[in-house]
């Protein structure tokens, strides 16, 4: 029995390893290029040699340059601040709405759900001008609020919570009601702790959304103290000049926080109460 | 005691008069731009400059959204030359005739003033200009026994001659079906900026005088003839690679010896330093046998928001940043061609060499600015798509005719 | 289902306020925009559905764009959903390497779509890119990729699969956590194979997650166009001219907000139709 398990694991590992090559290979080349002193883009890509993926001389100068001369550290901090703030607000606000949509049959439910769906079916480009005008009228342009608040209007997060909450057995909540618990208490003390996978997923979702936003920060804020990560990365390309070394190093440095976040949150992908099979 | 009071009043006056100027700028490297901003601050301590550097890929959209709010910000913004007409026509730019003396206007190239003007008024101040030519790889020319073409503006090669050279220099040495060396690579493969001179050399006019009609102009016999030559480069003679979608990649091809010639801009004199392996020469932008010599030109300008509430500060900043000293510093940092005569005079060690001399002469003598029309961005985009399709093999005449219909429908809205 | 209007609205109001203010209001403005024609001086005239009729009847590029978009979606959506589901199923265990591979598959998502587009553009360079270097190493012919009308759309599809699979995998992983271990144990006692367990237990219990991923992924793929903007610009010869790219050009280059908004309204209608079908197909067949 145990050897069968081991063989299965080996087979699984091999399949995963082969598939992951598809994902890793282009990135490995980019990483190698970032660790090389600035050189022609295709120098090591063609023809293919081991040097394509392993620099003969490893240097961190490209990374040092973006942090010391181009203020990349501040861009990262800004994006972290905006992302984390948005996460806090969105998780609370969206989970509350998801709770109502999943567990309550109330007047206007269908309308609210339709509104929730529509909000992520319309592209940002078509609402950017009216949104910008509104931000200006609310006098929050060129502040962190301009970056955070519109991000909280996230229909996808609400939709996700709704789907997850629908799977949580209502009996637990009924029992709590009978015991005299308020709805707020049920939401906070019973529902949320059972929904860690959903919460973690929304955390990553919202983080990625804010972390990857490029156009809105350019429109909503203009002071350099608000510069976000994607703007810093995008600035290395233009018709007149593209600095591949800076582009690669900032893209890699800029992708580390999301990856670390994902890695860290893995441990919360644990089975909720339904997962453990404990039911009424 | 009284002196202290006076001092305090003066100080408060100074502090109260501190203005914050909002500037929307192109996403050039921050460390370079800040050198100019800090220099400005030293001269103008009461003006706080908040400069936003927008990446090129998002620049025009960001400007559109910011201006659409109509509240006078940004106070000063970067204007890509041909878009001057569009911003001016929509009332976004302040007319600057009252603020510039004739003497000051003499500082710039005539083509630059033309680019920054609309309907007889001066709207955006020239910040840079441009020119282009053919860069060639000396080693490859030597290897195949082609004599080096001349740098002199008087010894311009024709397109026919360039095509011949390109054919000789497109080589597939290892017989895998893909050339290892291409005869010619075009830095911005489908952009009208670089391609207009071909048609104009044959005598074509690229847009109607009023700037609203392309039918009959981009569909004229001469224009189609130029476009057909362009088509042949990729599809008949196959001397130029299709699908080089990024100017940095085109530069890479030339810089690493994969292309014998590159039709490219003056900024390459700086950018090719990234490729120490290539020993290159420069020869004038070609013309067609029997036709006129035409070169492209035009680049960035600086405009002031028509609704700005800080006109004084805006003018000070604009005059500073486009003034001789700032442009000298900027050229040394960045490398684009200055639009001011006195910068060329101030840096003889840079501009004295033969290559810059060539570009300078072209800008003075053969440069033709892009057509002035408020609908330039849509005209250019659709024409660019047409050129892109043509280089991939679509029939030039038909593609241009389809494009003319679409362009004119868009431009009709401006009449 | 509980019945309590006041409590339900209490929980809904905060999110709804954000949605109404920052999404629904601008969406409404944008829709009104699609019913107007703006002269370049900024004067707006109400023209009813003229923008729409022009698109359907006279616009020379709309229908090509429409079909390119539909073909793209019909291929890329199932591909992404299947690949991310497979990844999640394979990585649902707790081997020592599970966390590692989950992170590896997630890596491309950590990079923005725009930067991923730049990476693919240079990796798939028709002459000197990394991809062709691999092909020639194995003796295959180098491919034109984005410079071929036949391959460009597939290039976009693969780019999207590459970037998005890890992302949707995360949602499936979350959904898998909700499936009671006891069910698998019971099945094993009955002698069920892995395949049977997957089809009889896992998939049916994943329907809610599946409907979420299907609907969200569909919307994303109709609305994103970064690779077109950066790499192909709609070409070669219109073969990758997605509707959203046409809308974008109308809005920011042609300054024709009417046409831009009309196209996005049409896209919204298409997405709603697709979503409706998807939600129907993945109706949860049971309730807790």
Confidence of residue C44 (pLDDT cuts 50, 70, 90): confident
Q: What percentage of chain A has pLDDT greater than the value 90?
A: 79
In a domain, B352, yes or no: no
> Does A125 contact C at CB distance below 8 Å?
yes
CB contact under 8 A, B65 and A71: no
Residue B12: its pLDDT value, please?
67
Nearest to C125 among B60, B249, B378 (CB): B249
> Does C146 contact A at CB distance below 8 Å?
no
Cα B77 to Cα B24: distance, rounded to the nearest angstrom = 5
CB contact under 8 A, B377 and C254: yes
Nearest to B69 among A38, A133, A238 (CB): A133
Average of per-residue pLDDT across A24-37: 93
Residue B171, φ and ψ in degrees, nearest 5: -125, 135
DSSP per-residue letters across A208-236: HHHHT--HHHHHH--SGGG--HHHHHHTT
Is the pLDDT confidence value at A192 over 70?
yes
C-beta of residue B188 within 8 angstroms of C-beta of residue B250: yes
In a domain, B359, yes or no: no
CB contact under 8 A, A218 and B248: no
The domain spans of chain A are 2-59, 71-234+247-274
CB contact under 8 A, B65 and A132: yes
Q: Which of C235, C260, C261 to mutate to test the interface with B (most CBs of B within 10 A)?
A: C235
CB contact under 8 A, B89 and C237: no
Give the chains touching B; criterion: ≥3 Cβ pairs < 8 Å: A, C
Supply the Cα-derived Rg of chain B in whole angstroms.
23
Element (H, E) at B282: strand B280-284
C-beta of residue B315 within 8 angstroms of C-beta of residue B304: yes
Count of domains forming chain C? 1
What is the tally of helices (H) and strands (E) in chain C? 15, 2
- Indicate if B221 and B194 belong to the same structural domain: yes
Q: Which residue has the higher pLDDT, C195 or A153?
A: A153
Residue C286: its pLDDT value, please?
45
Using CA atoms in the order A45, A51, A54, A60, what is the torsion angle rounded to 10 degrees?
Answer: -80
In a domain, C141, yes or no: no
Residue B206, φ and ψ in degrees, nearest 5: -90, -10
In a domain, B351, yes or no: no
Nearest to C173 among A122, A208, A269 (CB): A269
Sign of torsion over alpha carbons C128, C130, C136, C137: positive
> Does A136 contact B at CB distance below 8 Å?
yes
Q: Closest-CA residue in chain C for A269?
A: C174
Cα B164 to Cα B166: distance, rounded to the nearest angstrom = 5
Edge-first strand listing for the sheet containing B76-80 = B47-54, B19-26, B76-80, B300-304, B124-126
Is the pLDDT confidence value at A217 over 60?
yes
How many pairs of residues across A and B have Cβ atoms under 8 Å apart?
91
Is the pLDDT confidence value at A199 over 60?
yes
Count of domains forming chain B? 2
Average of per-residue pLDDT across C5-34: 95
DSSP per-residue letters across B109-171: -HHHHHHTEETTEE-EEE-EE--EEEEEEHHHHHHTTPPPPP-STTSPPBHHHHHHHHHHH-B
> Does A188 contact C at CB distance below 8 Å?
no
Q: For residue B125, give both structure tokens.
A: 């101040």
Give the chains touching A; criterion: ≥3 Cβ pairs < 8 Å: B, C
C-beta of residue C146 within 8 angstroms of C-beta of residue C155: yes
> Does B307 contact C at CB distance below 8 Å?
no
C-beta of residue C72 within 8 angstroms of C-beta of residue C156: yes
Residue A40: its pLDDT value, please?
87
Nearest to A241 among B256, B271, B275 (CB): B271
Q: For residue A280, give both structure tokens.
A: 């009424």
- Indicate if B98 and B195 belong to the same structural domain: no
In a domain, C45, yes or no: no
Q: What is the domain extent for residue C270? A: 59-111+151-281
**What residues 92-111 of chain A have any CB closer than 8 A to a CB of chain C?**
92-94, 96-97, 99-101, 103-109
> Does C1 contact A at CB distance below 8 Å?
yes
Mean pLDDT by 10 residues, chain B (415 residues): 78 70 95 95 94 96 94 94 95 95 93 95 96 97 95 94 96 83 96 97 95 95 97 96 92 94 96 93 96 96 96 96 96 93 94 94 94 94 96 96 94 83
> Does B9 contact A at CB distance below 8 Å?
no
Element (H, E) at B342: helix B341-346
Residues in chain B closer than 8 A to C62 (CB atoms): none
CB contact under 8 A, C40 and B374: yes
- Indicate if B234 and B331 belong to the same structural domain: no
- Indicate if B308 and B204 belong to the same structural domain: no
Using CA atoms in the order B240, B242, B246, B250, what is the torsion angle rounded to 10 degrees?
Answer: -20
Fold of A71-234+247-274: MetI-like fold (1.10.3720)
Give the closest-approach CA distance of B244 to chain A in angstroms. Answer: 13
The 10 Å CB-count burial string (b at 16+, else e) for B359-388 is: bbbbbeebbbbbbbbbbbbbbbbbbbbbbb
- Indicate if B247 and B324 belong to the same structural domain: no
Nearest to B57 among A71, A237, A241 (CB): A237
Is the pLDDT confidence value at A244 over 90?
yes
Element (H, E) at C246: helix C243-252
**What residues 317-346 of chain B have any CB closer than 8 A to a CB of chain A?**
336
Per-residue pLDDT tens digits for C223-267: 999 999 999 999 899 999 999 999 999 999 998 999 999 999 999
Q: Which of B63, B91, B243, B402 to mutate to test the interface with C (most CBs of C within 10 A)?
A: B243
> Does B32 contact A at CB distance below 8 Å?
no
In a domain, C88, yes or no: yes
Is the pLDDT confidence value at A270 over 70?
no
Q: Closest-CA residue in chain C for B92?
A: C41
CA-based nearest residue to B33, from A61, A78, A69: A69
Residues in chain A closer than 8 A to C82 (CB atoms): none
Residue B14: its pLDDT value, please?
59
Lookup result for tokens 């960001």:
B62
In a domain, B340, yes or no: no
CATH of residue C104's domain is 1.10.3720.10
Is the pLDDT confidence value at A2 over 50?
yes
CA-based nearest residue to A156, from A189, A190, A126, A115: A115
The C-alpha angle A241, A242, A248, rounded to 5 degrees, equals: 165
Q: What is the ipTM of this complex?
A: 0.92
Q: For residue C33, what is the DSSP state? A: H
CB contact under 8 A, B377 and C249: no
In a domain, B353, yes or no: no
CB contact under 8 A, C24 and A118: yes
> Does B392 contact C at CB distance below 8 Å?
yes
In a domain, B48, yes or no: yes
Cα A181 to Cα C82: distance, rounded to the nearest angstrom = 42
Give the closest-approach CA distance of C147 to chain B in angstroms. Answer: 5
> Does A10 contact B at CB distance below 8 Å?
no
Residue A7: its pLDDT value, please?
87
Residue C190: its pLDDT value, please?
85
C-beta of residue A55 within 8 angstroms of C-beta of residue A36: yes
- Indicate if B42 and B158 belong to the same structural domain: no
Residue A51: its pLDDT value, please?
83
Confidence of residue A271 (pLDDT cuts 50, 70, 90): low
The 10 Å CB-count burial string (b at 16+, else e) for C183-222 is: ebeeeeeeebeeeebeeebbeebbbbbbbbbbbbbbbbbb
Residues in chain A closer than 8 A to C15 (CB atoms): 93-94, 96-97, 158
Q: What is the domain extent for residue B22? A: 2-126+300-335
In a domain, C84, yes or no: yes
> Which of these ranges, A229-233, A272-276, B215-219, B344-348, has the smallest mean pLDDT?
A272-276
Per-residue pLDDT tens digits for B100-156: 999 999 999 999 999 999 999 999 999 999 999 999 999 999 999 999 999 999 999
Neighbours of B22 (CB within 10 A): 23
In a domain, B355, yes or no: no
Q: What percentage of chain B has pLDDT greater than the value 90?
A: 90
> Does C177 contact A at CB distance below 8 Å?
yes
Nearest to B90 among C40, C61, C230 (CB): C40
- B121 half-sphere exposure, CB direction, 13 A CA radius: 15
Q: What percentage of chain C has pLDDT greater than the value 90?
A: 71
- Indicate if B162 and B232 belong to the same structural domain: yes
Confidence of residue C62 (pLDDT cuts 50, 70, 90): very high
> Does B27 contact A at CB distance below 8 Å?
yes
CA distances from B61 to A142, A235, B370 (A): 18, 15, 21
The C-alpha angle A270, A272, A273, rounded to 5 degrees, equals: 145
- Indicate if B257 and B397 belong to the same structural domain: yes
> Does C133 contact B at CB distance below 8 Å?
no
Residues in chain B closer than 8 A to C237 (CB atoms): 388-389, 392-394
Is the pLDDT confidence value at A274 over 60?
no
Cβ within 8 Å of residue B136, ≥6 positions away: B148, B149, B260, B261, B262, B280, B281, B282, B283
CATH of residue B61's domain is 3.40.190.10
Residue B21, φ and ψ in degrees, nearest 5: -100, 130
> Does A132 contact B at CB distance below 8 Å?
yes
Residues in chain B closer than 8 A to A40 (CB atoms): 252, 255-256, 274-275
Q: Kindly report the pTM of this predicted structure.
A: 0.93
Average of per-residue pLDDT across A257-277: 74
Beta bridge partners of B301: B79, B126
> Does B48 contact A at CB distance below 8 Å?
no
> Does A149 contact B at CB distance below 8 Å?
no
Q: Which of A33, A38, A40, A139 to mutate to test the interface with B (most CBs of B within 10 A)?
A: A40
> Which of these ranges, A45-49, A100-104, B261-265, has the smallest mean pLDDT?
A45-49
**What residues 221-280 of chain B have any CB closer than 8 A to a CB of chain C?**
241-243, 245-246, 249, 253, 258
In a domain, B343, yes or no: no
CB contact under 8 A, C15 and A96: yes
C-beta of residue B134 within 8 angstroms of C-beta of residue B266: no
Per-residue pLDDT tens digits for C152-161: 999 999 999 9
């Amino acid at each position: 029995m145990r050897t069968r398990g081991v063989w299965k694991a080996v087979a699984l590992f091999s399949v995963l390893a082969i598939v992951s090559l598809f994902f890793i290979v282009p990135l490995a080349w980019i990483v190698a290029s970032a660790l090389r002193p600035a050189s022609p883009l295709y120098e090591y890509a063609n023809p293919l040699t081991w040097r394509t993926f392993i620099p003969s001389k490893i240097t961190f100068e490209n990374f040092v340059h973006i942090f010391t001369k181009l203020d990349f550290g501040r861009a990262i901090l800004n994006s972290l601040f905006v992302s984390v703030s948005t996460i806090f607000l969105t998780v609370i606000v969206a989970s509350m709405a998801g709770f109502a949509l999943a567990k309550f049959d109330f007047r206007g439910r269908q309308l609210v759900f339709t509104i929730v769906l529509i909000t992520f079916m319309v592209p940002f480009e078509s609402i950017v001008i009216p949104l910008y005008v509104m931000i200006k009228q609310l006098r929050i342009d060129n502040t962190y609020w301009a970056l955070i608040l519109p991000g909280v209007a996230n229909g996808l997060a609400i939709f996700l919570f709704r789907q997850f909450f629908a799977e949580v057995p209502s009996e637990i909540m009924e029992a709590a009601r009978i015991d005299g618990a308020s709805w707020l208490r049920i939401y906070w003390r019973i529902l949320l702790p059972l929904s860690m996978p959903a919460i973690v997923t929304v955390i990553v979702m919202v983080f990625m959304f804010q972390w990857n936003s490029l156009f809105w920060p350019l429109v909503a804020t203009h002071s350099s103290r608000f510069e976000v990560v994607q703007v810093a990365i995008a600035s290395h390309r233009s018709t007149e000049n593209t600095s591949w070394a800076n582009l690669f190093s900032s893209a890699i440095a800029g992708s580390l926080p999301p990856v670390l976040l994902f890695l860290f949150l893995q441990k919360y992908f644990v089975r909720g109460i339904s997962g453990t099979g404990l039911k009424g | 005691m009284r002196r202290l009071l006076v001092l305090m009043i003066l100080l408060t006056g100074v502090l109260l008069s501190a203005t914050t100027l909002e500037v929307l700028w192109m996403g050039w490297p921050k460390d370079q731009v800040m050198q100019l901003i800090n220099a400005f601050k030293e001269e103008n301590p009461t003006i706080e400059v908040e400069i936003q550097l927008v990446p090129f890929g998002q620049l025009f959209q960001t400007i559109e959204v910011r201006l659409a709010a109509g509240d006078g910000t940004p106070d000063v913004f970067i204007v890509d030359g041909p878009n001057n007409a569009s911003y001016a026509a929509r009332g976004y730019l302040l007319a600057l005739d009252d603020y510039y003396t004739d003497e000051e206007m003499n500082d710039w190239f005539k083509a630059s003033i033309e680019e920054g003007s609309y309907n007889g008024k001066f709207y955006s101040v020239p910040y840079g200009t441009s020119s282009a030519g053919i860069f060639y790889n000396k080693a490859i020319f030597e290897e195949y026994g082609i004599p080096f073409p001349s740098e002199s503006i008087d010894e311009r090669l024709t397109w026919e001659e360039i095509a011949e050279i390109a054919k000789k220099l497109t080589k597939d040495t290892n017989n895998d079906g893909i050339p290892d060396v291409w005869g010619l690579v075009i830095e911005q493969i489908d952009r009208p900026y670089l391609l207009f001179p071909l048609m104009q050399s044959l005598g074509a006019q690229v847009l109607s005088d009023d700037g609203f009609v392309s039918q009959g102009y981009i569909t004229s016999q001469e224009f189609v003839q130029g476009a057909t030559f362009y088509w042949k480069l990729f599809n008949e003679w196959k001397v130029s690679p299709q699908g080089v979608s990024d100017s940095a990649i085109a530069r890479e091809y030339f810089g690493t010896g994969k292309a014998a010639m590159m039709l490219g801009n003056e900024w390459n004199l700086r950018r090719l330093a990234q490729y120490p392996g290539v020993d290159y020469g420069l020869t004038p932008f070609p013309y067609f046998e029997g036709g006129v010599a035409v070169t492209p030109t035009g680049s960035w300008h600086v405009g002031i928001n028509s609704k700005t509430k800080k006109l004084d500060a805006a003018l000070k900043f604009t005059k500073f940043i486009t003034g001789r000293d700032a442009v000298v510093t900027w050229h040394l940092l960045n490398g684009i061609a200055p639009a001011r005569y006195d910068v060329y005079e101030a840096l003889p060690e840079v501009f004295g060499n033969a290559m810059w001399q060539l570009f300078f002469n072209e800008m003075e003598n053969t440069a033709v600015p892009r057509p002035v029309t408020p609908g330039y961005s849509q005209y250019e985009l659709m024409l660019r798509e047409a050129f892109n399709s043509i280089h991939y093999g679509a029939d030039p005449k038909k593609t241009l005719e389809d494009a003319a219909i679409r362009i004119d429908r868009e431009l009709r809205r401006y009449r | 289902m509980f019945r309590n209007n006041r409590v339900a609205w209490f929980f809904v109001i905060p999110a709804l306020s954000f949605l109404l203010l920052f999404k629904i209001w601008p969406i409404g403005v944008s829709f009104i925009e699609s019913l107007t024609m703006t002269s370049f001086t900024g004067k707006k005239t109400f023209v009813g559905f003229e923008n729409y009729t022009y698109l359907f009847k006279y616009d020379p590029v709309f229908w090509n764009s429409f079909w390119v978009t539909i073909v793209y979606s019909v291929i890329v959506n199932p591909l992404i959903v299947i690949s991310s589901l497979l990844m999640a199923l394979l990585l649902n265990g707790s081997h020592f390497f599970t966390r590692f591979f989950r992170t590896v598959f997630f890596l491309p998502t950590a990079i923005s779509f725009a930067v991923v587009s730049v990476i693919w553009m240079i990796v798939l360079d028709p002459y000197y890119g990394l991809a062709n270097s691999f092909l020639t190493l194995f003796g295959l012919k180098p491919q034109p990729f984005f410079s071929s009308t036949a391959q460009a759309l597939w290039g976009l599809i693969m780019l999207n699969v590459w970037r998005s699979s890890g992302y949707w995998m995360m949602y499936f992983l979350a959904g898998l956590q909700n499936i009671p271990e006891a069910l698998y144990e019971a099945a094993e006692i009955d002698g069920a194979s892995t395949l049977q367990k997957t089809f009889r237990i896992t998939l049916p219990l994943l329907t809610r997650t599946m409907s979420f991923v299907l609907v969200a992924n569909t919307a994303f793929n109709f609305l994103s166009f970064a690779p077109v903007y950066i790499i192909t610009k709609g070409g070669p010869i219109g073969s990758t001219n997605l509707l959203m790219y046409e809308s974008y050009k109308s809005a920011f280059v042609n300054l024709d907000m009417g046409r831009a908004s009309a196209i996005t309204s049409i896209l919204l209608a298409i997405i709603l139709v697709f979503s409706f079908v998807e939600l129907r197909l993945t109706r949860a067949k049971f309730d807790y």
